[in-house]
A and B are shown apart, each in its own frame.
Chain A
Amino acid sequence: MSDETIRQIRSFIFENFLFDAADEDLKNDDSFLEQGVIDSTGVLELVDWLEESFGISVDDEELMPENLDSVNNLTRFIAKKLMADS
């Protein structure tokens, strides 16, 4: 499940925020903010996608870097949310 989630996340990030970057340009623990991958409005696009693709709802208080700011953080966050829902 986790590998598949990582693949999905990476594919979403590359398609929507990195456009034509090479795969090695983003490591799974790179901070989206520090690498300039996502700006302030990009976070909300990311949330839209999470809600749509995984059927999870993201609360305002969950909008924080430790949940959303890297591929690894996102993977953990999605797993946690899906677990809580099931």
Chain B
Amino acid sequence: MCGIAGYFSIASESTLGRYVLEKMIYPVTHRGPDGLGFYVGDGVGFAHARLSIVDLEGGWQPIHNEDKRLWVVFNGEIFNYIELRRELEELGHRFYTNSDTEVIVHLYEEEKEKCLDKLNGQFAIALYDSHEETLFLARDRMGIRPFFYTIHKGVFYFASEVKSLFASDKAIPREIDSSVLKEIFTFWTPCGSETVFRGIHQLEPGCCANVSCNGGIQIREYWDIPFGAAGSHNERRNANSYAEELRELLVDSVRLRLRADVPVGAYLSGGLDSSAITSLVRHYTDNPLKTFSVTFDDSVYDEQAEQAEMVRYLATDHHVEHCTYEKIGQTFPDVIWHTETPILRTAPTPLYLLSSLVQRKNYKVVLTGEGADEILGGYDIFKEAKIRAFIKRNADSHIRPLLLKRLYPYLALSPTKSAEYARKFFDTDASEDELFYAHLPRWRTTRGTEIFFSDRLKEEGRNLLEKLEEKYAGKLEGLDYFSRAQYLESKLLLGNYLLSSQGDRMAMAHSIEGRFPFLDHRVVEYACTIPPELRMKVLNEKNILKKAMVTLLPPKIVQRKKQPYMAPDILSFFGAKEADYLDFYLASRAVRDAGFFNPKAVGRLVDKCRKKSRQGFRENMAFVGILSTQIIYEKFVRNFQIDFPQRLDNIKIIS
């Protein structure tokens, strides 16, 4: 696990060399504090910051094949490298390390880009073929590891984080792309390959690319989440049989993800998913179990009781990070330096604090339960869609809308006290054939934040839903509304937000690698074969997962009502002590200079926050979104600064 960076001249005679690579890799040494490695070739350069996890002695990168024709830098893990290595050795390949990285160059030699079909892992890969003078890039199927790139003056730059791109050359434009900013204020994330920085792209999950002087960049999707068309699932197979096979797959996925030459811990939230993973580790492996949790003061967010139940049940060596409002508020600007994108929730912050705890305990790797809600049907938004469709089937019923009331009981702000309102808020008259049926109510609420936009921003950009439709209509064709909702949630929320802003970035900020057993592609592909009505049986979410785990978890954990992971938003900044930087980012002048929001409206929002009265979804999202945008603008656009040392003295340099 690591940070990577590099350049490749596609239409430029300029030779950049080692110094540029040092400037690029230095800002991401939190991703790989154990040492740096470089490769400089003709018109190409790779840099690597290493977090040593597999083959501690020998696994330094960049790594080459036997005749040094192929060079690779790679961030991530290939979990099935032992099996792949055996096959490759039988084919005559000679290895000079024991690392998983080396498998990539030999496998690429054999299979070219088809090698991706064989990789079980989480990865961002850059591979240079010095004979063909081409660059091959790839990103894992679900988007666990990041990969950003840009082209400037004929040079293709890539890196694990955007800050490396900006550090490579001061002349690279640093601008906020207003239309992407608007996407974030509706969908919670950018919805395509664009980032909030104009001209900076991500290689999307499940995609690979070839870059060459003649051909430019050719991007291809090599894998996608295979939700089958409505009616294509095997309806005769019973739930228990589905559950049994799911458990077997998860056991194998967990086993593979414990492969490391350092100890592996686990996050334990107290919910079903992380409890399931932790329990599988306990029951099916002899890995010593260290677990980590966040706790909160406020019972709306806190899950201490459930965590304690699991710790007792599995007898783990447990460690807790207690998140106060103040701590979340104080840490938030640092968090945004790492998310590198505006966000509408503070929820990544506690995970940033948690990875710091893991680091202090000298752990480098943790398993987490991320992904189960998307692929196995856990989210309230799926349940909400089912209830809405159920209400529509009998529109005159006064009882059916009350089901919505049962859906959000954990919220202090129940939106569904009144059946009449419930029907309006949740748009129960809409048809389930609508392409984005499940998501439209949420997007409409989120989009309410645009009342804070400046006039300039309000006028700019194109129709967001049209853009989304262009991108996804083909993918969603033939799918039932439940699978459509799962697909979109996996692409937008999971791929672009949970795995990045809340996942990779928060963990890597403290040199911690997350591993995600639910996101083993075999598990994902299998989950897609389960009929939608079994994924959520009536309103019982993650029905098959619960069945799979029922003998391995305390009944309370299996039966408990789902509590979504959230953190306090506005409250974090206006507690007993107001965060001291608020004025710096939100003062009328700062807001006007940045140009994205209406200073007067923002001022009134801040006044409202100070009153500490009840705040709605819209105000919470707007506040966190505005503040994080202002921080992004300050730290990345107006005043981007990396304190690059004269010499990289304190860092071990391998090559």
B414 and A39: CB pair below 8 A? no
Nearest CB in chain A: distance from B345 CB, A: 15
Report A-chain residues with C-beta under 8 Å of the C-beta of B420: 63-65
Residue from B416, B604, B613 in contact with A40 in the complex, judged by beta carbons closer than 8 Å: B416
B598 and A20: CB pair below 8 A? yes
Report the separation of the CA atoms of residues A60 and B421 in the bound assembly, to the nearest whole angstrom. 11
- Cβ < 8 Å to A, chain B residues 583-627: 598, 600-601, 604-605, 608, 613-618
B617 and A41: CB pair below 8 A? yes
Report A-chain residues with C-beta under 8 Å of the C-beta of B86: none
**A64 and B614 contact, Cβ closer than 8 Å, known pairs A19-B605, A40-B415:** no
Residue from B413, B414, B415, B421 in contact with A64 in the complex, judged by beta carbons closer than 8 Å: B421
**A41 and B421 contact, Cβ closer than 8 Å, known pairs A19-B452, A19-B605:** no
Kindly state whether residue B418 has any CB partner on chain A within 8 Å. yes
Looking at chain B's contact residues, the main secondary structure is: helix
Kindly state whether residue A45 has any CB partner on chain B within 8 Å. yes
Nearest CB in chain B: distance from A45 CB, A: 5
A48 and B417: CB pair below 8 A? no
**A20 and B600 contact, Cβ closer than 8 Å, known pairs A33-B424, A41-B617, A65-B421:** yes
Report B-chain residues with C-beta under 8 Å of the C-beta of A38: 616
A41 and B618: CB pair below 8 A? yes
How many B residues, CB 8 Å from partner?
27
Report the separation of the CA atoms of residues A45 and B613 in the bound assembly, to the nearest whole angstrom. 8
Report B-chain residues with C-beta under 8 Å of the C-beta of A65: 420-421, 424
Kindly state whether residue A82 has any CB partner on chain B within 8 Å. no
- Cβ < 8 Å to A, chain B residues 614-642: 614-618
**A36 and B417 contact, Cβ closer than 8 Å, known pairs A19-B604, A48-B614:** no
B613 and A48: CB pair below 8 A? yes
Residue from A19, A41, A63 in contact with B413 in the complex, judged by beta carbons closer than 8 Å: A41
Report B-chain residues with C-beta under 8 Å of the C-beta of A56: none
Report A-chain residues with C-beta under 8 Å of the C-beta of B613: 45, 48
- Contact code string A41-56 (vs B, CB < 8 Å = 1, else 0): 1111100100000000
Kindly state whether residue B451 has any CB partner on chain A within 8 Å. yes
- Cβ < 8 Å to A, chain B residues 198-230: none
Kindly state whether residue B118 has any CB partner on chain A within 8 Å. no
**A44 and B614 contact, Cβ closer than 8 Å, known pairs A39-B425, A60-B417:** yes
Report B-chain residues with C-beta under 8 Å of the C-beta of A40: 413, 415-416, 421, 425, 445, 616-617
A43 and B421: CB pair below 8 A? yes
Smallest CB-CB separation from B419: which chain A residue? A64
- Contact code string B396-424 (vs A, CB < 8 Å = 1, else 0): 00000000000000000111111011001
Report the separation of the CA atoms of residues A21 and B455 in the bound assembly, to the nearest whole angstrom. 12
Kindly state whether residue A18 has any CB partner on chain B within 8 Å. yes
Residue from B417, B445, B601, B614 in contact with A19 in the complex, judged by beta carbons closer than 8 Å: B601
Kindly state whether residue B448 has any CB partner on chain A within 8 Å. yes
Kindly state whether residue B561 has any CB partner on chain A within 8 Å. no
A63 and B417: CB pair below 8 A? yes
Smallest CB-CB separation from B446: which chain A residue? A39
Kindly state whether residue B522 has any CB partner on chain A within 8 Å. no
Smallest CB-CB separation from B451: which chain A residue? A19
Kindly state whether residue A16 has any CB partner on chain B within 8 Å. yes
Kindly state whether residue B233 has any CB partner on chain A within 8 Å. no
B444 and A36: CB pair below 8 A? yes
Nearest CB in chain A: distance from B385 CB, A: 16
B601 and A42: CB pair below 8 A? no
Report A-chain residues with C-beta under 8 Å of the C-beta of B415: 39-41, 43-44
Report the separation of the CA atoms of residues A36 and B450 in the bound assembly, to the nearest whole angstrom. 11
Smallest CB-CB separation from B441: which chain A residue? A40
- Contact code string A14-34 (vs B, CB < 8 Å = 1, else 0): 011011110000000000010
Smallest CB-CB separation from A16: which chain B residue? B608
Report B-chain residues with C-beta under 8 Å of the C-beta of A15: 604, 608
Report the separation of the CA atoms of residues A13 and B569 in the bound assembly, to the nearest whole angstrom. 22
Report the separation of the CA atoms of residues A38 and B424 in the bound assembly, to the nearest whole angstrom. 12
B618 and A39: CB pair below 8 A? yes
Pull 29 A–B residue pairs with CB atoms less than 8 Å apart, ordered by A: A15-B604, A16-B608, A19-B601, A19-B604, A20-B598, A39-B616, A40-B421, A40-B616, A40-B617, A41-B415, A41-B614, A41-B615, A41-B616, A41-B617, A42-B616, A42-B618, A43-B421, A44-B413, A44-B417, A44-B614, A44-B616, A45-B613, A45-B615, A60-B418, A61-B418, A63-B417, A63-B420, A65-B420, A65-B424
The 3 closest A-B pairs by CB, nearest first: A40-B415, A41-B616, A63-B418
Residues of A bordering B, CB below 8 Å: 15-16, 18-21, 33, 36, 38-45, 48, 60-61, 63-65
